[in-house]
């Protein structure tokens, strides 16, 4: 029984190394991080959506229900949510949600250290 378990564990170890090696190699040799480039070039990134339900046109009350209270509200009424990450990127920053007539008019991501208020 022991040789069977040993062989099974050895096969699982070999297969897992083949499974995970290409994923880690692909991450390091992947295409350039476009979000990071745009953030460095422009100082902000336009965001299409923040999750599956928050996008341009979403009502303020829906944002409050889905994302909770913002960490800060600027003098011009923008809501700030810190520590947001861009999917498939190393970029992290503050999500800025601007409203017009109680609907989202613009969503941007700014660097975490950047202040807008």
Q: Which residue has the higher pLDDT, 85 or 20?
A: 85
Rounded CA-CA distance 38/46 in Å is 9
Structure-block tokens of residue 114: 């950047």
Burial level of 113, CB count in 10 A (0-12/13-18/19+)?
exposed
* pLDDT-wise least confident of 12-21, 35-44, 91-100: 12-21
* pLDDT of residue 29 exceeding 90: no
* pLDDT of residue 23 exceeding 50: no
Mean pLDDT of the chain: 78
User: HSE on the CB side for 38, CA within 13 Å?
Assistant: 16
* Domain boundaries of the chain, sorted by first residue: 1-30, 32-117
Q: Are 91 and 113 in contact (CB under 8 A)?
A: no
* pLDDT of residue 9 exceeding 60: no
Q: What is the pTM of this model?
A: 0.68
What single DSSP character describes residue 87?
T
Q: Residue 85: phi, psi to the nearest 5?
A: -120, 145
Rounded CA-CA distance 91/101 in Å is 30
């Amino acid at each position: 029984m022991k040789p069977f378990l040993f062989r099974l564990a050895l096969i699982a170890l070999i297969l897992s190394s083949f499974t995970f090696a290409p994923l880690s190699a692909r991450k390091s040799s992947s295409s350039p991080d476009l979000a990071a480039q745009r953030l460095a070039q422009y100082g902000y990134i336009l965001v299409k959506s923040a999750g599956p339900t928050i996008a341009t046109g979403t009502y303020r009350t829906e944002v409050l229900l889905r994302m909770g209270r913002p960490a800060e509200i600027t003098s011009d009424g923008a809501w700030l949510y810190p520590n947001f990450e861009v999917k498939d990127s190393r970029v992290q920053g503050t999500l800025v949600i601007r409203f017009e007539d109680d609907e989202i008019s613009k969503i941007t991501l700014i660097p975490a250290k950047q202040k807008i208020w």
